[in-house]
Amino acid sequence: MSSEKIHVDHKLPKAIESLLVRLRDGGFEAYVVGGAVRDILIGKEPDDYDVTTSAEPREVIQVFGEKFCHPTGISHGTVTVISEGVPVEVTTFRVDGDYLDFRHPEEVRFTRSLEEDIKRRDFTINALALSPDGTVIDFCGGIKDLERRLLRTVGDPKERFTEDALRILRGLRFASEHGFRIEEETSREMISLKDSLSALSVERIWKEFSRLICGTYCAPVLRRYFDIFTVFLPEIAPMRGFEQHNPHHIFDVWEHTLAAMTYVPPTVVLRTAILFHDIGKPSCFEIGQDGIGHFRGHPKVSAAMADTILTRLKVDTDTRETVILLVKAHDVPLDPLMKNVRRRLAQYGEERVRLLLEVKRADISAHSMKSAYRLSELSSFEVLLDQAIREQQCFSFSSMNVNGKDLIELGIPAGVRIGSIKKQLLNEIIDGNLENEKTALLQRAQAIWKECQQ
């Protein structure tokens, strides 16, 4: 098949350029391939560069020397070469053998043909190769598809998704990140083969899905391909179309969630927390005598469901725990008073209070206009939060100006009492009823101790 060629003016990083040149000087073909070429053509600086070459792994090692090569995935033809101090993945041109289980090729075969290597790739926009002189080689119409912002599989979508179901999620991830339209047949086969996603490992699913929800265009993708996501997130199914019967909520639970997704900054923790913040609503629904819908206790139920889902998907503990906390706390009031700011800081710590502010902002923004006044309360809370941090106000034992030893020196016996007196002192500081100053604290400690003895 003939190839299309165009020229791009793009300066490759030194490490990549010199790696390509050395392979070529060694008598081999070598190109930048995949996502990096796609990104360069749409004017985005690539995050990482993959290199493909006609050299077999042992030949790559011969060119660069064993000291500079790590056989990271040698059976699949990948060697990590340290070029100018930078690790670069170099993969031999290859053809994948038959796929028998929706995910792993039975075998890979090396080839000397770039075209064969290109044809095994998932989407036409990822099936482009770039020479060090700036020539883009296109066997599959990827350049035109990029211009049209169209996502299309290389070859028959049914075949390509049956070989590897992860491509379905990768495709949706690209649509969410870049706003690509998905070609009709590709889209249809994604939906009709959705159940094959259950053959994938949960780690691979989460890796793509966590990137998908951080995309600029995640809401339209989550809306349109909802049924696909219910394969590994069956808990979201009742959210769609669940009317809230409440004047503050103009959307159903799912549409409210999608609106909030676009308001919250695109980090995995925040987007996941928003995705799940109301997932427990359908199971908490009650209609009051006034005809208004209530969802009592839904943050706790949603948090428990988020815990189950994130545990099932083997998401790292830190992400899971932060998400659970944010979901559970998404309805706690953040009233703009300094003592409340200190209380929340004591309860959650600075980082999580800031995340909670983002969650609440997005949640409120996605309600009806009537709720908008609450946004200014959150801004006032944030101003006070900044002030509390700037002034290094006290909200934890570590910043309190007395410690256990000081209290023992006052004559209070070591033991549980010390702990409870310290706690009382801290609460009074947080509430603004006591100054964090040593003499005042010691006096107050003594008074509490006296009261205890009476």
Shortest separation between residue 190's beta carbon and Mg ion, angstroms: 21
Residue 80 DSSP one-character state:
E
Positions 18 through 37 that interact with ligand ATP (CB under 6 A):
34-35
Q: Is 352 in the site for ligand ATP (CB under 6 A)?
A: no
> Among 121, 178, 298, 352, which residue interacts with ligand ATP (rule: CB under 6 A)?
121
Positions 62 through 91 that interact with ligand ATP (CB under 6 A):
none
- The stretch near ligand ATP (CB under 6 A) out of 21-29, 159-167, 395-403, 407-415 is 159-167
d(CA 116, CA 93): 8
By rule CB under 6 A, what string of x and - marks binding of each residue 42-61 to ligand ATP? -----xx-x-----------
Residue 117 interface partner, choices Mg ion, ligand ATP, none, CB cut-off 5-8 Å depending on type: none
Q: Is 293 in the site for Mg ion (CB under 5 A)?
A: no
Shortest separation between residue 381's beta carbon and Mg ion, angstroms: 40
Residues with Cβ within 8 Å of 289's Cβ and at least 6 positions away in sequence, in order, are none
Q: Is 145 in the site for ligand ATP (CB under 6 A)?
A: no
Instruction: Point out which residues pair with 33 in neighbouring strands.
Output: 50, 129
Residue 298 interface partner, choices ligand ATP, Mg ion, none, CB cut-off 5-8 Å depending on type: none
d(CA 352, CA 278): 19
- The stretch near Mg ion (CB under 5 A) out of 27-35, 229-237, 271-279, 323-331 is 27-35
Q: Is 167 in the site for ligand ATP (CB under 6 A)?
A: yes
Helices within 74-127 (DSSP H only): 114-119
**Closest residue to ligand ATP: CB criterion:** 35
- CB-CB contact of 145 with 30 (8 Å): no
d(CA 99, CA 105): 4
- CB-CB contact of 16 with 56 (8 Å): no
Shortest separation between residue 218's beta carbon and Mg ion, angstroms: 19
Shortest separation between residue 14's beta carbon and ligand ATP, angstroms: 20
> Among 29, 35, 274, 385, which residue interacts with Mg ion (rule: CB under 5 A)?
35
- CB-CB contact of 45 with 13 (8 Å): no
- CB-CB contact of 103 with 165 (8 Å): yes
- CB-CB contact of 91 with 77 (8 Å): yes
Strands 30-33 and 50-53: what pairing? antiparallel
Q: Is 27 exposed, middle or buried (0-12, 13-18, 19+ CB in 10 A)?
A: exposed
Interface residue list for ligand ATP (CB under 6 A): 34-35, 47-48, 50, 121-122, 126-127, 164, 166-167, 170
Interface residue list for Mg ion (CB under 5 A): 35
